Amino acid sequence: MADPNEGIRINDEAARGAVTNTGLRYVLGFSLGFAVIAMSLVWIIPALARIAH
C-alpha cells in the first residue's frame, strides 16, 4: 500500500500527454523567419520600383 504522506510523481511526458523535442520549435522559427522576409520583400520591392520611376 502506498504511503499517504508521499507525493505523487509523474514524469513530464505523462503530465503533458505529449512527447517533447520533436523539432516543432525549429519549424515555427523557420516559418516565422520566412514570413518576416516575405512580408519585407512585398513591401520593399514596390517601394524601390516607385523610386526608380
Residues 6+ apart with CB under 8 A from 13: 19, 20
- For residue 20, the model assigns a pLDDT of 66
pLDDT, tens digit, 9 for 90 and up, residues 1-53:
567 788 888 887 777 776 667 788 899 999 999 999 999 999 999 999 998 77
- For residue 14, the model assigns a pLDDT of 76
- For residue 10, the model assigns a pLDDT of 82
- For residue 33, the model assigns a pLDDT of 97
Please, are residues 20 and 12 in contact by the beta-carbon 8 Å criterion?
yes
- For residue 38, the model assigns a pLDDT of 98
Sole residue written with cell 513591401: 43
DSSP three-state, residue 4: coil
CA angle 8, 19, 6 (to 5 degrees): 5
Please, are residues 46 and 52 in contact by the beta-carbon 8 Å criterion?
no
Q: Which three cell numbers stand for residue 53?
A: 520611376
- For residue 35, the model assigns a pLDDT of 98
